[in-house]
Structure 1
Amino acid sequence: MVGGQDSTATVLNRLRRAQWQLAGVTSMIEQGRDCKDILTQLAAVSRALDRAGFKIVAAGTRECISGAAADGGAPMTEAELEKLFLGLA
């Protein structure tokens, strides 16, 4: 598990989307499509993979951060952690 069923489902959906997009890029290259279109789709694949990776990191880090709540602070949500990691990318 990545960090719960919801997180796992989200990561799997993002990876499947990236896989589908990558197949589309391969097909575009085989068809001799315009370079701009290919690069646009390749960038989308890269973003999908990055988001899946950050989701995994965010879910894994969540438990460490939520331990800070024991010290009086409010625990961060996965969405907040993911946003922070994406801001670093």
Structure 2
Amino acid sequence: MYGYTQDKDKYLNRLRRIEGQVRGLEKMIEEDKYCIDILTQVAAATSALQSVALGLLEDHLGHCVAQATAEGGEVAAAKVREASEAIARLVKS
């Protein structure tokens, strides 16, 4: 079981709302809406995705990494390294 499992429905609902935002962006472009209005909506969708990512990261740290740390050894080191690499990817985006 993964750390996000208990909040799976929350994440799925949030991702469905984000999917709707992205479809709305597509429609705005099809309808030749004002550039700044589109950019505002892109920023909102990006922020929503970042929020999901941070929630998943928190769940991963609290469950997967914590569990691996309790086991210790190379498993723990690998999970910490994996989490650090995920954080680095998020920071770059």
TM class, shorter-chain normalised?
0.5 to 0.7
Q: Which runs of 5+ in 1 are unaligned?
A: 69-84
SS in 1 for 2:46: helix
Q: Hey, what does 2:26 align to over in structure 1?
A: 26
**Relative to total residues, which structure has the larger helix share, 1 or 2?**
2
Contact 2:18 2:45 in 1 (8 A): yes
Contact 1:14 1:51 in 2 (8 A): no
Q: Hey, what does 1:11 align to over in structure 2?
A: 11
Calculate the TM-score normalised by the size of structure 1.
Answer: 0.64
Contact 1:18 1:48 in 2 (8 A): yes
Using the alignment, how far apart are the partners of 1:67 and 1:30 within structure 2?
Answer: 48
Percentage of matched positions with identical amino acids: 33
Q: Which runs of 5+ in 2 are unaligned?
A: 70-86
Question: Deviation at 1:2?
Answer: 4.7
Question: Deviation at 1:11?
Answer: 1.4
Contact 1:2 1:8 in 2 (8 A): no
Q: Hey, what does 2:75 align to over in structure 1?
A: none
Deviations 1:27-57 (A, max 9, x none): 0000000111101111111111111111111
Structure 1 runs (4+) greater than 2 angstroms displaced? 1-5, 63-68
Using the alignment, how far apart are the partners of 1:29 and 1:50 within structure 2?
Answer: 23
What is the aligned length?
A: 70
Alpha-carbon RMSD: 2.4
- Cα distance change on mapping 1:38 and 1:4 into 2, 3 Å: same
